[in-house]
Homo-oligomer: A and B are copies of this chain.
Amino acid sequence: MATARQKESVELLKAHGLSVTGGRKDILNLFLSRKGALAHADIEKKLGTLYDRVTIYRTLQSFVDKGLIHSIPTKDNSIRYALCKDECASGHHHDHHIHFVCKRCNHTYCLDEVATPSVKLPKGYTVNQVEMVVSGVCQSCQ
């Protein structure tokens, strides 16, 4: 099981054109094991003794660049990251789902089954991307 996940992360890394290193495997495993988004601070808290702060920053950046994870904007000024679905590729993110932030446990979830509704903008505006973040109370915290 742990080995299965190991294999999965290695495959994912290779499939996205990233060389396989210990740090990348560990960080990717965090994303795979925990459904929900992670902030840099979360990762540092879990792996802080193993890897340098800078390495984590650069790893996250490379993951975003290669379409492995995407960033989620939040009100509290801390960027969170979550795994992308298969449709995302290098340079092209297609996260058409909405994000949910729980006020109790402070976890962030990708609600893949909920698509972002289309919006009608006033004349003259060209839409490029739509971000939707819903906050409230999640299933586990009810």
Contact = CB atoms under 8 A, between A and B. Distances in A.
A134 B114 contact: no
Chain A: interface size category: 35 or more
Q: Within the oligomer, what is the number of copies of this chain? A: 2
Contact of A135 (B122, B131, B138, B139): B131
A142 B124 contact: yes
Interface string A96-123: 0010100100000001011001011111
A1 interface: no
Given A73-B75, A124-B142, 6 more contacts: A100-B121, A113-B122, A114-B122, A125-B139, A127-B136, A131-B135
Contacts of A136: 121, 125-129
A57 to B, nearest CB: 13
